[in-house]
Amino acid sequence: MSPTRIVRRLLLASSALLALTALPCGVAAAAVDGPFEPNDTQQTAFGPLAPDIGYTAQLENAANPDWYYVYTAGAGTVDLALSLASCSAGNPGPSCSNVTARVYNGDGGLVGSAIVNTTGPATHITFDAPRRWRYAISLQQGGVGGATYTLTAGSSGGLTSAPPDQPLPAAPAPVADLPAVIPRFSARFETSYVGTARKPRSRKITGLTVLGVQSGSTIVVRCTTGCARRYRKTVTAKGASRRLGGLPMALKSNTRFRIEVRQTGLVGRFREYDFAKKVPLPRVMASGCTSPYDFSPIFCAPGTE
């Protein structure tokens, strides 16, 4: 083979290698370790969803839908509420690429759908459930994905944790027999930024104080989305407030913190704070009660929300 042909073949091989390495990294990127993963297929859907609890997560990319499911306790009208807090890591909104929600019954039939493409108030999908059944919900975003959303489910006929082929759980105990609920708490974030309020730069959280807690309570703070690094800290309250040190952290457009306050034998509470706005002032996106046994979200008894 002549030297000219050898050089040509080497150039062709080099071009092919460069084309392969130029593929977008996201094509084979691992899934984001979200709070309800793995839920990329109907077989691995997260659930059953508890009634009137907001489930907040982030769509990883266009190729990975998020799946959930609910069990209806009987005939009634099911209402699903879907809202977007941000469109993607680089786009806080309000205009997003389409997030399509679809709902399927136990036979695989489509019973409802909606397209959400703006941040703000929730979009509702309602449909009639004729009996106890399982309903699967898929959420998928076009474009690059990355939207942060909150999904809430409810039904006039009730939702249950029992599959349709199993007996319904016993009726809950009277409110007087339920464990007491810890008092409501609040949080004060210390933040900083460079520039103006309209165009802030280098937004940071410099400190956090949890207020209104009881001495001996366990406080768990987690950054669930939009974090430059994983953050989880557990401390014990020694008084009515507790300041967490060592928190300096850069804020992204979709940064979200979840704070849980727990106490042995009592119903706990959680609050989720969002920093999507330009000025680093948090807003409460979700709050509620947690089980005294496994600290998962539960329905707050009337008068304790």
Where is the domain boundary, 162, 194, 215?
A: 162
CATH number at 246 reads 2.60.40
Do 196 and 288 lie in one domain? The reply is: yes
Assigned domain for 17 exists: no
Question: Bridge partners of 72?
Answer: 159
Where is the domain boundary, 108, 130, 162?
A: 162
* pTM exceeds 0.75, yes or no: no
Q: Which domain holds residue 72?
A: 35-162
Q: Tokens 């084979």 appear where?
A: 28
Render each residue's pLDDT in the chain as its tens digit; 305 residues: 444 443 344 333 333 333 333 333 332 233 445 678 888 888 889 999 999 999 999 888 877 889 999 999 999 999 999 999 989 888 888 888 889 999 999 888 899 999 999 998 999 999 999 999 999 999 998 887 888 999 999 998 889 888 888 777 665 554 445 568 888 899 888 888 888 877 888 888 888 899 999 888 999 988 888 776 777 888 999 989 998 876 667 787 778 888 999 988 788 888 888 877 677 777 777 788 887 776 777 777 655 55
Going by C-alpha positions, the residue among 207, 250, 258 that lies closest to residue 227 is 250
Where is the domain boundary, 109, 133, 162?
A: 162
Assigned domain for 250 exists: yes
- Cα 30–chain centre separation: 18
**How many domains in the chain?**
2
